[in-house]
Amino acid sequence: MLLTIDVGNTNITFGGFKSEDLEFLARIKTDKNKTSDQIAVELKNIFSLYEVKDIFDGAVISSVVPELTKYICEAVNKITGLTPLVLGPGVKTGMNILTDDPAQVGADLVAGGVGAAALYPLPCLIIDLGTATKICLIDKNGAFRGCAISPGIGISLEALSSKASQLPSISFTTPDHSIGTNTIDSMRSGIVFGTAAMLDGLCAKIEEEYGEKAAATVATGGYSKDIVKSCNRDIIYNGELIHYGLKKIFEKNTK
């Protein structure tokens, strides 16, 4: 079994692949203050919760939280005896990154790009709604062309309630109407329908600049499943995209 780990600023997700099948996908909150022992305990509990019986023969990590990467590697080693492959410079991805500085492209974006290029027709747009909202373009040759990044939904909600004295903290829910008749529904409308409209418009802008329509648009990330329902664009939801990309990258580096 292959252990895949995506370390994000808000959550850490753990996946377990048995051959081509994802046997489990677990999520814990990112805490930069945790020790390797604490992470190891949580990892062991995840294996128990999902009744993981198989022995892991590989592990691969994408991380955008450098402070935690070392401790997660140590935790994985304590529980499985494996030294994980950490996605970064020098790791084979099979994807040409055509940005000004390829080393600056987040490991999660690279893994998502590799996953999308393997699963969907090209060119492809990838929407990742996590701590930040990101839209990436994988061109018709399978190369990573770049992306657009804006504040994520959680950050926007937090900023709205903390900076405006009369606006409360609210839960993330899709409202019934775009015209809110109370403060909470009005805020939800702005966040949900506003984000959906931004995604539609920015995807169209990227296609216009690239000069070709995307053959597929795929969404991943914690907020994607609900937001894409409010988009006009035909968007495929795949919450496992980054983990599938990590699996492909691991295979490229262990053949």
Q: With contact defined as beta carbons under 8 Å apart, do 241 and 13 qualify?
A: no
Q: What pLDDT is attached to residue 165? A: 66
pLDDT digits (tens, 9 = 90+) for 1-29: 999 999 999 999 999 999 889 999 999 99
Q: Do domains 2-86 and 102-245 have the same CATH topology?
A: yes
Give the C-alpha distances (Å, rounded to integers) separating 88 from 66, 111, 249, 250.
Answer: 11, 10, 11, 12
- Token pair recorded at residue 30: 């990112």
Helix (H) or strand (E) holding 177: none
pLDDT digits (tens, 9 = 90+) for 32-85: 999 999 999 999 999 999 999 889 999 999 999 999 999 999 999 999 999 999
Q: What pLDDT is attached to residue 166? A: 67
Non-local CB neighbours of 160 within 8 Å, separated by 6+ positions: 167, 187, 191
Is 163 a residue whose pLDDT tops 80? no
- What is the distance between the alpha carbons of residues 110 and 251, in angstroms, rounded to a whole number? 15
- What is the distance between the alpha carbons of residues 194 and 189, in angstroms, rounded to a whole number? 7
- What is the distance between the alpha carbons of residues 58 and 176, in angstroms, rounded to a whole number? 46
CATH architecture under which domain 2-86 falls? 2-Layer Sandwich (3.30)
Q: Shortest CA distance to 9 belongs to which of 115, 126, 108?
A: 108
Of 6, 108, 128, 139, the active-site residue reads: 108
Which position has the token pair 């040409």? 96
**What are the φ and ψ backbone dihedral angles of 101, each rounded to 5 degrees?**
-140, 95
Total-model pTM: 0.92
Q: What is the average per-residue pLDDT within 139-155?
A: 94
Is 172 a residue whose pLDDT tops 80? no
- What is the distance between the alpha carbons of residues 96 and 87, in angstroms, rounded to a whole number? 15
Q: What pLDDT is attached to residue 222? A: 81
Q: What pLDDT is attached to residue 223? A: 85
- Token pair recorded at residue 122: 């090209």
pLDDT digits (tens, 9 = 90+) for 191-241: 899 999 999 999 999 999 999 999 999 999 888 988 999 999 999 999 999
Q: With contact defined as beta carbons under 8 Å apart, do 244 and 14 qualify?
A: no
pLDDT class for 184, splitting at 50, 70, 90? confident
Q: What is the mean pLDDT of the chain?
A: 93
Residue 108 among the catalytic residues: yes
Q: Which residue has better confidence, 73 or 183?
A: 73
User: Domain limits of the chain?
Assistant: 2-86, 102-245
Is 255 a residue whose pLDDT tops 80? no
Q: Which CATH number does 102-245 carry? A: 3.30.420.40
Is 243 a residue whose pLDDT tops 90? yes
